[in-house]
Structure 1
Amino acid sequence: MQDDNRNNNVRDPQKIGSLRGIAGLVSFSTILPLNIHTSIEEMAKFTWFWPVIGGFIGIIAGTFGFFLLNMVQIPQIIAAALIYSFMIWFNGFHHLDGLMDFGDGMMVHGTPEKKIEVMRDTRIGTGGMAYFVMVALVTFSSLGSAPAALIFPVILVSEVAAKMGIVTCATFSEAFPDGTGRFFIESMNKKFLLLSLVLASTIGFLALNITGIIGIIGGLLGGTLIAFVARRNFKWATGDILGTSNEIGRMLSLIIITWILLV
């Protein structure tokens, strides 16, 4: 009996730490005021779990989209603008900020160190605005073209795919020595990526059958693309680059899903 109690005492802190790490990642990924006291290192251990958190975000954003289009029945072009605004707002603008910083860095000619220095500058340049406008327009147009009756599962899958983009980019990237992004990158490997893909694909299939799985693959392709571009232009990956993979992963997923559903 004493040995059992000792084992329980050992396991409990581990369970508490796991729950705290996952809850911290939810707080980090959204605007929810969970007030979780944890560290980046503790959250980063559960980077592989990010697509499931994307599913939670997708349920909330999808419910909002379903309400606008199927309950209030406002014009879809207006609903698409509101849905996209809600999605980037609920994500806390973290990933959108990364996309804009990434755009500024891509405009720079010079060494990877110089590009990263510009990417980390707090000012927003032409490149950042251009990348935001391009991604926002395509994402908005995809939401405006998706079948209104299926807007909930479409949004759900796209948010899971967005987080699939992050974990994929992290897996195939080399971490910049400085910054919080390195903890998420260093925590990922191909085994964790496979686990993330299985979880994400399961959610995708439950939401939209085979189309949902293909939408998840869109997120994976987005993350792979950004990892490749980052290696060629920056050599290393930072938190801004991971944020970019979120936005590109969502965008590609929405393009693919909408195209399949409308063909």
Structure 2
Amino acid sequence: MKDQNNDDYFEKQSPSTLRSIGGLLTFSTILPLNVYTTIDEMAKLTWFWPVLNGLIGLIATIIAFILTRFLHFEPLLVATIIYGFLLIINGYNHFDGLMDFGDGVMVHGPPEKKLSIMKDPMTGVGGIATGFIVGTITIAAFSSLINYAYAVSFNILLLIIVAEISAKIGLTTCCISSQASEDGIGKYFIKYMNLKNYVIGLIICFIISVALSLGPGIHIGLLGIIGGAFGGALTALLAKKHLKIANGDVLGTSNELGRLFSLLAMLVFISMNFSTLI
């Protein structure tokens, strides 16, 4: 997640919850909302980010439904289109952070050296390999999910929403588990995350995920959220080991790993209970 220090972007506006929500969506996606507010006002709603990301998941689910139900595309093709859509609508910010993080953790040396490598605009082998590994496994996971949708029920496509909610659960989990860097935008999201808001956001996401997975089984949605939290916690652990602190690139990584582990957790449950789901 590259730092954006353009003060015009964060032009002071009359603060309100709706403006903060619009500002957060404008900041984190390429949706043409053009709602601008201060970084502080946006960051105060970091705990609500997973719920907002469910809207992105909903759009992805609609696309997947059209491609599978009406056009009968092959699962791998649908999965690639869906993953590409998710990367594009997020402006590649999180994926860019993942690649920068991959470069940093693969370098030998002190945290200062690793952080300087992450800020380098050039992407190295570590970043490319990390992006390739996470990207291909994520596409394969989406493909498996869509295969199950064909075999069992198209209701399984709703788990795409759960995975996107869980991606941001990964981010908020990383925020609550990390020490912020002294510079960059990422520090604001970490600063405004606290345990109370984290738990509130987690409970809301649990409820939404259970509702979305009523057809395939409520345990699937719960496991999806837990998988997302695991991805965020794992990212925070790696960041503490290699960098001591967390910045925007670390938070972007937690988003991508949160989605990946959410999908894997749900797929494990589906595969183990496939005979009962048919």
* TM-score range normalised by the length of the shorter chain: over 0.9
Partner residue of 1:180? 185
Matched, 1:242 2:251: yes
Partner residue of 2:3? none
- Cα deviation, residue 151, structure 1: 4.5
SS in 1 for 2:16: helix
Could you tell me how far apart the structure 2 residues matched to 1:77 and 1:21 are?
37
Letter in 2 for 1:245: S
Partner residue of 2:53? 54
- More deviation, 74-83/234-243: 74-83
Could you tell me how far apart the structure 1 residues matched to 2:244 and 2:105 are?
12
- Cα deviation, residue 262, structure 1: 2.3
Could you tell me how far apart the structure 1 residues matched to 2:93 and 2:197 are?
23
Partner residue of 2:173? 168
Gaps of 5+ in 2: 1-12, 273-278
Task: Please identify runs of 4+ aligned residues in structure 1 that moved more than 6 A.
Answer: none
Matched, 1:224 2:233: yes
Gaps of 5+ in 1: 1-12
Give the length in aligned residue pairs.
250
SS in 1 for 2:157: helix
**Contact 1:55/1:203 (8 A) holds in 2:** no
Partner residue of 2:262? 253
Partner residue of 2:163? 158
- Cα deviation, residue 236, structure 1: 0.4
**Contact 1:62/1:151 (8 A) holds in 2:** no
**Contact 1:59/1:152 (8 A) holds in 2:** no
Partner residue of 1:102? 101
The structure with more helix, counted as a fraction of residues = 1
Which whole-Å deviations, capped at 9, do the CAs of 1:207-251 have from their partners, x for residues lacking one? 112210110110011111111110010000000000000000000
Partner residue of 1:191? 196
Identity, in percent, stands at 45
Matched, 1:136 2:135: yes
Could you tell me how far apart the structure 1 residues matched to 2:188 and 2:44 are?
8
Which whole-Å deviations, capped at 9, do the CAs of 1:175-198 have from their partners, x for residues lacking one? 000111000001111111101111
Partner residue of 1:210? 219
Could you tell me how far apart the structure 1 residues matched to 2:156 and 2:38 are?
36
Could you tell me how far apart the structure 2 residues matched to 1:104 and 1:248 are?
16
Could you tell me how far apart the structure 1 residues matched to 2:25 and 2:144 are?
30
- Cα deviation, residue 254, structure 1: 0.6
Matched, 1:92 2:91: yes
SS in 1 for 2:169: helix
SS in 2 for 1:38: coil
Query: Paired residue for 2:205, among 197, 200, 206?
Result: 200
- More deviation, 110-119/233-242: 110-119
**Contact 1:180/1:239 (8 A) holds in 2:** yes
Report the aligned-residue RMSD: 1.3
Which whole-Å deviations, capped at 9, do the CAs of 1:138-158 have from their partners, x for residues lacking one? 111111111222443121000
Could you tell me how far apart the structure 1 residues matched to 2:156 and 2:63 are?
10
Could you tell me how far apart the structure 1 residues matched to 2:144 and 2:40 are?
40
